[in-house]
A and B are shown apart, each in its own frame.
Chain A
Amino acid sequence: MNMLAQKNVEDPILQWVTFRLGGETYGVNVMQVQEVLRYTDVASVPGAPTYVLGIINLRGNVVTVMDTRQRFSLDHGEITDSTRIVIVETGEHTVGILVDSVAEVVYLKQSEVENPPSTGHDESARFIQGVCNKNDELLILVDLEKLLTGEEWSELESL
């Protein structure tokens, strides 16, 4: 094994798709991103949990779109030309997350990722898996699996 390969094993490089939401920049693992869609009308679903914005038809499949702002404890935002629906895969689930805009794909070494700061009992802290200072900007890395609790994922299945 040459030195470069050895270094990559010791300090793996991961790719993150970054998006903007409520003035902050977040990142999700590129391997979990299926596609990025322009905003399309989301059909509201009566009887759905509050974190569900609605559903869309993605090439014949019904995909649930999550209200990311609600989940991140942010105020309701406006739909703009930059608004995107990021289709992500987490375990057995494929869901859409509504974001203000999608920025870029960044490469991060594992060593660049720091543990999230303790924010007490803030519920949104549980799905932050790390933070990173990239180009003088704080990047918050999201653990999509923990975006919902096990119970909520089950609830989503029976939507």
Chain B
Amino acid sequence: MSTLETELEISLDERLVCYEEANLNTVSETTLPSVFTDYLDLLLEKGTELYPYDLAPAESILPELSRVQYIDKGLSQFECVYCRIGRHDLLIPLDSIQRIEKLDAHHERYRLNIPECEGESHFILQMMRNQGNIYVHSVAKILWVQSEDILWRDRQARAPWFVGTHKLLLCRLFDPNLLVVEIS
């Protein structure tokens, strides 16, 4: 077993303990305990590179094709936020997310609506490099997704930001970077 695999296993175990302690499988905004939000913050701070707004790189970040991004880089698995927007469950790669926050009044500066998904929003997924905020209804958990469990879309004429479908969870893998490119 490689060092990376060992680290991932430890990391997963730690997270499972955390979930069990919090007794959470699916949570909604109204029942989300602070321990969980703190835990999400901790995960995001540890697991992602932070860019304070004033230090964010000025150049545009043109995303590569997601298939290239996830498969050709040799990523057999990657972390995702498993969330719900409207009636749709989505997986959003964690490396595109900087923070998860509860929605309140001061969060209206740059709202990123996914065209196919509508619904009341309770949480904000703040994208890396301050590219935008994704408004979601609920955040269920952060989980490791295996590349082989994704049915990757080869042709993406319609809604290219949905880069694939998770075969077991039966939900879309959403790449917010592609939506940003589309609307910018």
Contacts and interface: CB of A to CB of B under 8 A. Distances in A.
Interface of A: 43-49, 54-57, 60-62, 154-155, 157-159
Nearest to A47: B159
A117 to B, nearest CB: 35
Contact of B158 (A43, A49, A55, A61): A49
A47 B117 CA distance: 9
Contacts of B161: 47
12 contacts: A43-B89, A43-B170, A44-B87, A44-B88, A47-B159, A47-B161, A49-B158, A56-B170, A57-B167, A154-B155, A158-B155, A158-B158
Contacts, number: 50
Interface string B75-111: 0000000000001111000000000000000000000
Nearest to B171: A43
Contacts of B88: 44-46
A155 B90 contact: no
B55 interface: no
A43 B90 CA distance: 11
Given A57-B167, A57-B168, 11 more contacts: A47-B116, A47-B158, A47-B161, A47-B172, A54-B170, A56-B170, A62-B165, A154-B155, A158-B155, A158-B156, A159-B153
B62 interface: no
A55 B155 CA distance: 18
Contacts of B87: 44
Nearest to B172: A46
A152 to B, nearest CB: 11
Contact of B116 (A46, A54, A56, A159): A46
B116 to A, nearest CB: 4
A154 B154 CA distance: 11
B114 interface: yes
B162 interface: yes
A48 B117 CA distance: 11
B4 interface: no
Contacts of A60: 167
Contacts of A54: 170
B151 interface: yes
B157 interface: yes
Given A45-B165, A47-B116, A62-B151, A155 B157 contact: yes
B175 to A, nearest CB: 12
A46 B159 contact: yes
Contacts of B153: 158-159
Contacts of A45: 88, 165, 172
Nearest to B166: A62
Interface in B131-184: 151, 153-159, 161-162, 165, 167-168, 170-172
B90 A46 contact: yes
A57 B89 CA distance: 15
Contact of B162 (A47, A49, A61, A157): A47
Contacts of A56: 170
Nearest to B154: A158
A157 B90 contact: no
